[in-house]
Amino acid sequence: MAIAATAFIVHSCGIYSFTGTSIQPDVKTVTINYFEYQALKVNPSLSNQLTEAMQDKFLKLTKLEQVDIDGDLEVIGAVTGYDVKATAVTASESVAQNRLTVTVKVSFVNRKYPEDSFENKSFSAYQDFDAAQALESVESTLCEDIVEQLCEDIFNATVAQW
């Protein structure tokens, strides 16, 4: 009985959900803009991949209707970094492991509750890979994992407010 009462109270507040979001009940729509690609090293599919993954995340984890412009919530982002750097060196001073890091800058607009908005917040995620492998051979798998982590972080910063 206590569990049912707690669930009813939490649900009736309309602010909290079991997906971890804290969206006010009068927020109904979200606009997720295309993530522009501004990094020097080019990955032609990353902007599409990131944009679609963000849209999917909001679709699966919220009840917000996605609209093209002027949503109650708006996510604006750009890929600003796409870098590969050595992370581990062997005793013979050769590279053993590389790290692919993707950085995005995100602005979040909450038209109903402007105090929750933020501008140009930086998010980055990385994946390590064996230096014996060419980036091109592991890039798509690495990017899938990186995009998943970035989406989780951006989602949490916007509607979960973590």
- CATH number of the domain to which 108 belongs: 3.30.160.150
Cβ pair 128, 141 in contact under 8 A: no
Nearest by Cα to 100 from 45, 41, 25: 41
Structural domains of the chain, count: 1
Element (H, E) at 25: none
Residue 76: predicted pLDDT:
98
Distance CA 66, CA 152 (A): 18
CA 122 to chain centre: 11
| Mean of all residue pLDDT scores within the chain | 87
For residue 16, is it within any domain? no
Q: How many CB atoms lie within 10 A of CB 55?
A: 15
Phi/psi at 151 (nearest 5 deg)? -60, -40
Asked if residue 87 is part of any domain, the answer here is yes
Domain that residue 67 falls in: 28-160
Secondary structure class of 14 (helix, strand, coil): coil
Residue 57 lies in a domain: yes
**How far, CA to CA in Å, does 155 sit from each of 43, 72, 87, 127?**
23, 15, 28, 20
Give the number of residues written for the chain.
162
Residue 17 domain-assigned (yes or no): no
* Range from 20-29, 38-47, 96-105 carrying the lowest mean pLDDT: 20-29
* Residue type at position 158: T
The answer to whether position 14 is within a domain reads: no
How many of the other CB atoms lie within 10 Å of CB of 112? 12
pTM score, whole prediction = 0.84
Q: 54-110: per-residue pLDDT in tens?
A: 999 999 999 999 999 999 999 999 999 999 999 877 767 777 899 999 999 999 999
Structural domain contains residue 6 = no
Residue 38 in any domain: the answer is: yes
